[in-house]
Each structure stands twice: as structure tokens, then as C-alpha cells.
Amino acid sequence: MSLSVAASTQALSAEKAARLLDRVRKAAPRVHCITNAVAQPFTANTLLALGAVPSMTIALDEVAGFAASADALLVNLGTLDDERRQAIPAAIRAAKAAGHPVVLDPVFIDRSPGRADYARDLMGMGLDIIKANEAELNALFDTRDGVDDAISRGAVFAITGAEDKIESQGEDFRLINGHQLLVRVTATGCAAGAVLAAFSALEDDKALAAAAGLSVFNIAGEIAAERCGGPGTLVPELLDALYQLSPQDIERRLKTA
């Protein structure tokens, strides 16, 4: 992927990631999550294990208040029913008006044209971080010009895959932590999005926030994958690992390309 506006690619330092994790734990930011029905419990538990605080309502007459008083907003397009469709723009407007970052996870827009249209409309609202895999990214933009254009207006893209890429106006990052067993558990990607949102609440450099947040989640996933007996025990082990994650764990395991 060649982006005209992209600057140098830089390795994320373990020290920066660990320092940002420490700041998240100390500040305990509240992340309001409009996320899909399948991901809600795991996402809330991920934020709590991280040291952040979740709020999860999708009710239209409450969501703006919850988003305005939170520190960041996560919008995940899985199970995109009527109530969520109406709540999302209201929540984004409230979060942006209050100066809070917004993370979009356009889940499965490659499988649902209506969902892709909806996601494109959201792009005009000043989103801070878009976390998507290649298929979702291709559904969001007809050409790479769309990505470039969004980046030139300040958006950061966290493009997930075997290798994760963070693309932005400033630094870009290439990240290769994670474990293949994570895809055998539902909503791990959704939960990672919530971690990005928590990190972005504390750090103005949203590319750094995205890189550090994704790395922290994926390192916890690696530790859990080594301790677990399969995808069932992976979930509790991942939450434990995230809760206990030390600067030494990050130093030892962080892999950037």
C-alpha cells in the first residue's frame, strides 16, 4: 500500500508502549462502546482488565450523554440493528463536540453493502482511528485515494492482518504480535478496538495510541495462547494476561517490522 501522504515508517518502542499502558491504568479512562451484541461482555471485561472503564448503552436517548461524559468512543458496526444505526451518529457528534476521540471498527462491511454505505457516511464525521482488515478497507473505499484523503484529513488507519499496519499523517507502524488462536475466539478484534479507544483517550498522537494499544492487546493474546488449552481457556487467560501485563512482558515480546 503506497500512500502519498504517509511519512516514515518507524518501530514502536516497548518503552513508549509500556509508558502509555501505565498512563491508561492510572487514568482509568471511560470508553463508551456502541458495539455488537456478541462482543459486549468480552469488550467490557477487556476494558476492565486493562484498567479502563466501560459503558455500553446503545439506547438513543441516553447514548449522547454517555458518550459526552466518557473519555473516548468506540463504534463497532457488528449486529447493526435500527437502534444502533440511530444511536451511532448521535454518539459520535456528542463525543466530537466534547473533544473525545472516536474509533470506528467497520466489522463485516465487506459482507453487507448497506453497512458499507453506512460506514462511508460516518467517515465524514471526523473519526480519529479506523480499525479494519483489508477486506473491510476495500469495502469502505473504492480506491486507495479514499484512504489517502481520509489520512490527509487526520484519520489514522489500523489495518489488521497477519501483520498489522498503522497508517497516518505522521509516523506509520508495522506490528507483528498476536497469535493464530485469537481468530478462534469471537470478538477478539472487537475487544482490541476498545483497547485502541482507551489508549487514544490518553495520547494525542493517535498513530502511537493505535500502535501501542494493538500491541498490548496482541501481546496479552500471545501470553494467553501459551498458557491456555484451546480457544475456551484462551479468553480468561487473555484477560488475566492483560491485567498483569508488565513493562518487561512488552519489552520481551514486542515485535515490529
Query: Which residues are known binding-site members for ATP?
Result: 131, 160
**187 in contact with a copy of itself (CB under 8 A):** yes
Work out whether 98 is an interface residue with a copy of itself (CB under 8 A). no
Of the pair 10, 186, the CB lying nearest a copy of itself is at: 186
Contact between 57 and a copy of itself by CB under 8 A: the answer reads yes
Q: Which of residues 106-125 bind a copy of itself (CB under 8 A)?
A: 108, 111-115
Contact between 184 and a copy of itself per CB under 8 A: yes
Q: How many residues does the chain have?
A: 257
Measured between alpha carbons, how far is 213 from 217 in angstroms, rounded to an integer?
A: 6
Cα 171 from Cα 206, distance rounded (Å): 10
Q: Shortest Cβ distance from residue 172 to a copy of itself (Å)?
A: 31
The site for a copy of itself, by CB under 8 A, has a size of 57
Listed residue (175, 177, 179) closest to 166, CA to CA: 175
Q: What per-residue string of b and e applies to 163-180 under the rule 16 or more CB within 10 Å gives b?
A: ebbbbbbbbbbbbebbbe
Contacts of 182 (CB under 8 A, 6+ apart): 188, 218, 221, 225, 234
Residue 187 carries which side chain, given as an amino acid letter?
A
Residues 198-257 interacting with a copy of itself (rule: CB under 8 A):
228-244
Q: How many separate helices (H) and strands (E) can be counted in the chain? A: 11, 8
**Is the Cβ of residue 15 or residue 81 nearer to a copy of itself in the bound state?**
81
Q: Which residues sit at the interface with a copy of itself, rule CB under 8 A? A: 36-42, 44-45, 48-49, 54-62, 65-66, 69, 78-83, 108, 111-115, 183-187, 228-244
